Amino acid sequence: MAILGRGIAVVEHVDSKWIQAVVWNKCELRIARKEILWDERNMRWETNPSSVSHTKPKVMSSGCTQLRQEG
């Protein structure tokens, strides 16, 4: 799934309301399913950084901090 302007997140778990994903193999994210849309032109699932909340960093890194500050 693409987080626009930030990178690609790998989905780890999905339930009826939330998706748990990891970006840069370091930051765990929680995203509401209703915030994710299919982009037909790019043929991928996408969301805006403002739709993302951090659950916990796997390993604190500057990339994780950057996503938190800009997102």
Q: Are 57 and 28 spatial neighbours (Cβ–Cβ below 8 Å)?
A: yes
Residue 64 pLDDT level (bands cut at 50, 70, 90): low
Q: Measured between alpha carbons, how far is 8 from 46 in angstroms, rounded to an integer?
A: 9
Contact 1, 36 (CB under 8 A): yes
Q: Which of 53, 57, 47 is nearest to 8 (CA)?
A: 47
Torsion sign across C-alpha atoms 47, 52, 58, 61 = positive
Which amino acid makes up residue 20?
A: Q
**For position 58, what pLDDT does the model report?**
55
Q: What is the pTM of this model?
A: 0.68
